[in-house]
């Protein structure tokens, strides 16, 4: 072997040994290594570094110091306690004998975000923002958290919060490049993940806009939020621009750089399989959203601290798709939403209570005595205006609908500006207000030219009367349960039907044969009429029948009596007037449950016998 070859092999061996040695961790004096790294942390961010365990130095592939048992502090107060810390150093600075920290890796760190002024991250963040905006010195290129725990307080309520299992990787390779971040964590028992890209810290710190793309997903699998049976899963995505608005702030330039708040605008998308569960998980009272199920929205938005506006928004609730504009604000944990939305077809069946309002004793005609309250609906504010070419509310179809829903200060008010139902027009207003025990309810409405036969068919009721109806109603009541409220109803109602007929009963035949009253409803028949009208005056849950009249070409009848709303029964008297053709009339009692009444003939009232004065007896033969 030649001497040149021997020297080459020897050089390669020495180089390999040097590279191997530089790649291995070398144990060094922990206090001196900690003081070396602390100088840069203190200069840049005002942080102190304390190390309880050993320290190692590794030169390749990049210089780094590794510590065990680490605490980062400010003003003598710990901000971070970590089982391990890796400090990545710039090679040029290291050769010059100074620390230039380019990356941090924290292993199983416990990070405290305290609201106390002398124990929080405000000063380190302000220093970082000022340095980034000014473009001074080297920046932190990489931050990694492994299985970290983040302790903080809810800024709305001050309640303690904890984020566990936080695994985060943030990369910012060059000052002119964008920052990329990905994180996975568990909050309130629900796993979530966050990705962010395109953010330019230098522009953001300087008060300019920076592009940003972010996505957040959460999936609690079988998790349920407190007080909600809905699943907790969904996603949110944004693509737009972010700026940090400046506000006047006295103090150091660092504090001025951190003053103000974020302003985010662009395109956003949000979807959740169950909105109530997601809002409850976020600590937001669902309020009226408790009526919603799967929800998604997307559109152009503008978000500032405490609120967001959607100049253009597309919303999907169940099978309904709506477009319009809206806004939302969060004040002390209370969600306030306003919106104006339009749809081709709208399904509001979810607003109709299931199983009616009857208790398990519905067959016996008892109203529910379950307590009434608005707590679930009035924990948020809502001002919503809706319009739809067609809409469904339970079994009822309507066209050309304009409606509104207002929830505020313990009240719920639903307004129907107009709707076309079975060829007629319906308008109305219903309002509920919370009382110390129960609810105060008010209902006003009117209908014109409604096809009764079609309406009864939609509702699944027996079609016992046909014709075009107009009606008006004004009722109010208060109570702790539905049974209590019905028993206290008061107000007025009136119904007029034009050009119709009664199915299943022939009044003319009944007048001729009153003895068949018991079976008249089962025999069937028809009674044509030109106009029928009934007026009701309601007081304490009892409706007094007044102006009950029916007029036909050859028939006239009247109705009087009472309807007992609480007991769901009626006690009325129908009178069939004698006909001009000599047809006899008759009087009938209508009694029993209002859905299954019975007919009973009443004896004709005989005129009182004529009497003579007592003195006249003396002249009697």
Structure confidence by residue, pLDDT tens digits, 499-548: 999 888 888 888 777 777 666 666 667 889 999 999 999 999 999 998 89
Enclosing domain of residue 444? 348-372+393-479
pLDDT score for 461: 82
Q: pTM score, two decimals?
A: 0.74
Together in a domain, 71 and 166: yes
**d(Cα 516, Cα 571) in Å, to the nearest integer?**
20
Report if residue 2 sits inside a domain: no
Task: Look at residue 538 in the predicted model and tell me its pLDDT.
Answer: 96
**Cβ–Cβ < 8 Å for 508, 583:** yes
Virtual torsion, Cα 166, 283, 299, 232, nearest 10 deg: 70
Q: What is the pLDDT of residue 454?
A: 92
Q: Which two tokens stand for residue 386?
A: 């809706």
353 and 306 within one domain? no
pLDDT value at position 552? 87
The region that residue 585 occupies, defined by phi over 0 for left and psi between -120 and 50 for alpha, beta otherwise, is beta
> Do residues 324 and 360 share a domain?
no
| pLDDT value at residue 259 | 46
With the CA atoms of 45, 208, 302 and 248 taken in that order, what torsion angle do they form, in degrees rounded to the nearest 10?
70
The parts of the chain modelled with pLDDT lower than 50 are 7-23, 117-118, 225-227, 248-259, 354-364, 606-621
**How far apart are alpha carbons 301 and 313 in whole angstroms?**
8
Pair (81, 112) in one structural domain: yes
Residues 359, 427: one domain? yes
Q: How far apart are CA 97 and CA 89, in angstroms?
A: 11
The distance in angstroms from the start CA to the end CA of the chain is 175
Residue with tokens 């009182």: 608
With respect to residue 172, please indicate whether it lies within any of the assigned structural domains.
Answer: yes
Q: Which of 461, 458, 318 is nearest to 395 (CA)?
A: 458
Report yes or no on 17 lying in a domain: no
55 & 172 share domain: yes
Is residue 447 within 8 Å of 432, Cβ to Cβ? no
Residues 326 and 355 occupy one common structural domain = no
Note the pLDDT tens digit of each residue in 459-508: 888 888 899 999 999 999 999 999 999 999 999 999 999 999 988 888 88
Q: Same structural domain for residues 61 and 28?
A: yes
- Both tokens of 222, joined, read 């079988």
Structure tokens at 341: 């939305």
Around Cβ 319, how many Cβ atoms within 10 Å? 11
Q: Please give the C-alpha separations between residue 225 and each of 141, 149, 220, 281, in angstroms, as whole numbers.
A: 38, 21, 9, 5
- Please give the Cα distance from 348 to 175 (Å, whole number): 53
Per-residue confidence (pLDDT) for residue 121, from 0 to 100 = 79
Would you state the pLDDT for residue 247?
56
pLDDT value for 252:
44
Q: How many domains does the chain have?
A: 4
Which residues have C-beta within 8 Å of that of residue 474, sequence separation ≥ 6? 443, 444, 491, 492, 493
Question: Do both 338 and 355 map to the same domain?
Answer: no
């Amino acid at each position: 072997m030649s001497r040149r070859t021997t020297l080459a092999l020897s050089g390669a061996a020495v180089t390999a040994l040097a590279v191997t040695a530089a790649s291995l961790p070398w144990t060094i004096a922990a206090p001196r290594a900690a003081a070396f790294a602390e100088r840069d942390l203190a200069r840049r961010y005002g942080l102190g570094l304390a190390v309880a365990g050993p320290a190692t130095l590794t030169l390749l592939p990049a210089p780094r110091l590794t510590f065990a048992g680490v605490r980062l502090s400010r003003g003598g107060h710990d901000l971070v306690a970590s089982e391990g810390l890796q400090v990545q150093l710039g090679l040029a600075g290291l050769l010059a004998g100074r620390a230039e920290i380019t990356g941090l890796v924290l292993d199983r760190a416990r990070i405290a975000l305290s609201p106390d002024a002398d124990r929080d991250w405000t000063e380190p963040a302000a220093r970082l923002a000022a340095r980034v905006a000014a473009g001074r010195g080297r920046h932190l290129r990489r931050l990694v958290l492994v299985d970290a725990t983040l302790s903080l307080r809810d800024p709305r309520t001050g309640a303690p919060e904890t984020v566990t299992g936080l695994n985060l990787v943030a990369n910012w390779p060059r000052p002119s490049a964008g920052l990329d971040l990905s994180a996975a964590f568990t909050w309130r028992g629900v796993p979530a993940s966050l990705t962010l890209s395109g953010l330019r810290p230098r522009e953001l710190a300087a008060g300019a806009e920076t592009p940003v793309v972010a996505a957040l997903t959460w999936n609690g699998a079988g998790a349920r939020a407190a007080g909600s049976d809905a699943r907790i899963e969904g996603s949110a995505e944004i693509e737009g621009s972010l700026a940090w608005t400046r506000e006047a702030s006295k103090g150091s330039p660092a504090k001025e750089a951190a003053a103000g708040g974020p302003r985010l605008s662009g395109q956003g998308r949000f979807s959740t399989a169950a909105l109530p569960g997601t809002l409850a998980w976020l600590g937001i009272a669902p309020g009226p959203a408790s009526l919603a199920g799967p929800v998604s929205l997307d559109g152009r938005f503008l978000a500032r601290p405490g609120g967001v506006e959607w100049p253009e928004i597309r919303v999907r609730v169940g099978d309904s798709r709506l477009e319009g504009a809206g806004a939302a604000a969060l004040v002390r944990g209370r969600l306030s939403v306003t919106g104006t939305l339009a749809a081709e077809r709208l399904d509001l069946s979810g607003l109709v209570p299931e199983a009616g309002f009857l208790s398990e004793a519905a067959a016996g005609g008892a109203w529910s005595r379950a307590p009434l309250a608005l707590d679930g609906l009035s924990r948020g504010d809502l001002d919503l205006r809706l319009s739809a070419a067609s809409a469904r509310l339970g079994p009822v179809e309507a066209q050309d609908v304009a409606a509104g829903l207002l929830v505020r200060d313990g009240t719920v008010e639903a307004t129907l500006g107009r709707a076309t139902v079975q060829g007629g027009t319906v308008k109305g207003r219903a309002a509920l207000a919370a009382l110390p025990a129960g609810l105060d309810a008010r209902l006003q409405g009117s209908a014109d030219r409604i096809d009764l036969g079609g309406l009864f068919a939609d509702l699944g009721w027996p079609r016992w009367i046909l014709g075009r109806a107009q009606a008006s109603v004004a009722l109010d009541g208060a109570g702790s349960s539905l049974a209590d409220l019905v028993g206290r109803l008061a107000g007025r109602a009136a119904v007029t039907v034009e050009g119709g007929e009664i199915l299943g009963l022939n009044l003319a035949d009944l007048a001729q044969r009153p003895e068949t009253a018991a079976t008249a409803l089962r025999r069937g028949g028809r009674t044509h009429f030109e106009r029928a009208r009934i007026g009701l005056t309601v007081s304490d849950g009892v409706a007094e029948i007044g102006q009950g009249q029916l007029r036909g070409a050859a028939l006239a009848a009247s109705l009087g009596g009472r309807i007992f709303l609480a007991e769901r029964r009626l006690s009325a008297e129908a009178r069939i007037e004698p006909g001009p053709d000599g047809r006899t009339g008759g009087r009938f009692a209508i009694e029993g449950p209002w859905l299954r009444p019975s007919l009973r003939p009443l004896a004709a009232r005989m005129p009182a016998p004529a009497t003579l004065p007592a003195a006249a007896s003396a002249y009697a033969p």
